[in-house]
Amino acid sequence: MIKKTIFLVLGIILVIIGIAGIFLPILQGILLIIAGLFLIGEYKYIKFIEDTKKYIRNKHRRKHL
């Protein structure tokens, strides 16, 4: 439980710094955002978005087969 909380907090911090990094030339904003989202990716709402994308892709593929 503590590990998940640490990953969530660290992920949110990286996303916030990444957003600031888009506007500041010193920081690599996109890389920090991706790293933050990767850390947050263990949670249900991210899984829901991924499952929805997979469903849409599979539905789209079936139409063209």
Number of domains observed in the structure of the chain = 1
> pLDDT, tens digit, for every residue of 7-40?
888 888 988 988 888 888 777 888 888 888 888 8
pLDDT of 64? 55
Confidence of residue 57 (pLDDT cuts 50, 70, 90): confident
Q: Please name which of 29, 55, 53 lies closest in space to residue 41, comparing C-alpha atoms.
A: 53
pLDDT of 7? 82
Cβ atoms of 14 and 29 within 8 Å: the answer is no
Range of the domain at 6: 2-64
Confidence of residue 2 (pLDDT cuts 50, 70, 90): confident
